[in-house]
Amino acid sequence: MAHIVLDARGYFTTTGRYIRKLVEGLAGLEDDHRYTLVLPADRLAEWSPPSARFRAVGSSAPFFSLAEQVGLARQIRELRPDLVHFCMPQQPVLLGLPRVTTFHDMTLLKIRNAKKSRLVSWSRRLIGRAAFIVAAHAGRANIVVSRFSADDLRRFTGAPRRSIVLTYEAADAIDEAAEAVPVPFERFVLFVGNQVPYKNLERLFDAVQDLASTHPGLGLVVAGRIDDDGRRILQGRPDMTRDAHFTGYVSDGALRWLYENAAVFAFPSFFEGFGLPGLEAMRHGCPVASSSATCLPEIYRDAAVYFAPDDRDGMSSALRRVVDDPEIAADLVRRGHRRVDDFSWEWMARETRAVYDRALRSRDAATAGSPVAGRPPGNG
């Protein structure tokens, strides 16, 4: 029986689905491992253990903080684990315990935070790169969620190829009943995600506006609350109030309705580690038009039409193909249903548990992974 600690401080964030699905999947596997989750202390009471093999402790240590390096390290050591899984690369450097780390993407290292000064942003990326390098070389395995992320991890950290194991994520159907959302358009292009510059929302708006000039009644619907980046875009683009609609908070049922009623789901991002929203759209029968950047062709394959994210005309053309041709849209829906079934959270959990088992047997760092281990169907 092994005791495994999961650093799950991101459990309740928008990127916490990976952790939640991992815990759910591990609970459904038959083994005798015990698991302790490190959760945000102020939300510890919100969590319920999925089985008797799971418990949780609270931590107030922020990511990339002195408290993380000292207090969290001490707390984890006191738990006396056989293995620690850091579900994000942010972690105590001098932990002195066997560890596994999941690297979702290299966004912190590749994308400048426009909200910070150049000096602050540069400093954060420098510190982040050092932390990522240490984490990638200190662990017994490094988990990635796409081959693109594996290549990026090696490029930025020099992580040994043998240390890397690929465990794709997945997209479940939303169980909640569809809840109609009032939108001011007869037909709409759907965008789901935050509005940071690398998500490329402003160029998508331009492309939809080009399309709307010949398609009266068509507009862009942005699911979710408008954030600071969205407000910045709006301040410089008063015309967006006519051809774009920000929904505000959407429930799961409302998001399901948006997926099921959109003419096309657009994913114009410059950078992704996996691309979950596009798979969610496919799961709910929405045709997908996607950026051809980074991992997205790897994940979506032939279930999307593609455009270069910096090509406004190409983006408009891709959207136009789907909006104008019901046969193309229907074919994308069929391909999307097939593609999304290639991915499974249960498979991800089984592969991750296999990484744990190899790491527990290994005495050396960076020997418990494999760059092509455990590929799900359709990803060979």
d(CA 300, CA 297): 5
Map the chain to HEC letters.
Answer: CCEEEEECCCCCCCCCHHHHHHHHHHHCCCCCCEEEEEEEHHHHHHCCCCCCCEEEEEECCCCCCHHHHHHHHHHHHHCCCCEEEECCCCCCCCCCCCEEEEECCCHHHHCCCCCCCHHHHHHHHHHHHHHHHHHHHHCCEEEECCHHHHHHHHHHHCCCHHHEEECCCCCCCCCCCCCCCCCCCCEEEEEECCCCHHHCHHHHHHHHHHHHCCCCCEEEEEEECCCHHHHHHHHHCCCHHHHEEECECCCHHHHHHHHHHCCEEEECCCCCCCCHHHHHHHHCCCCEEEECCCCHHHHHHHHCEEECCCCHHHHHHHHHHHHHCHHHHHHHHHHHHHHHCCCCHHHHHHHHHHHHHHHHHCCCCCCCCECCCCCCCCCC
pLDDT in the model for residue 109: 72
pLDDT in the model for residue 237: 81
d(CA 89, CA 99): 11
pLDDT in the model for residue 228: 87
What phi and psi, each to the nearest 5 degrees, are found at residue 222?
Answer: -105, 110
CATH tag, 187-340: 3.40.50.2000
pLDDT in the model for residue 9: 94
**Residue-range domain boundaries for the chain:** 3-170+345-361, 187-340
β-partners of residue 141 are 100
Decide yes or no: CATH 3.40.50.2000 for domain 3-170+345-361. Answer: yes
Low-confidence ranges of the chain (pLDDT < 50): 371-374
pLDDT in the model for residue 373: 47
pTM beyond cutoff 0.95? no
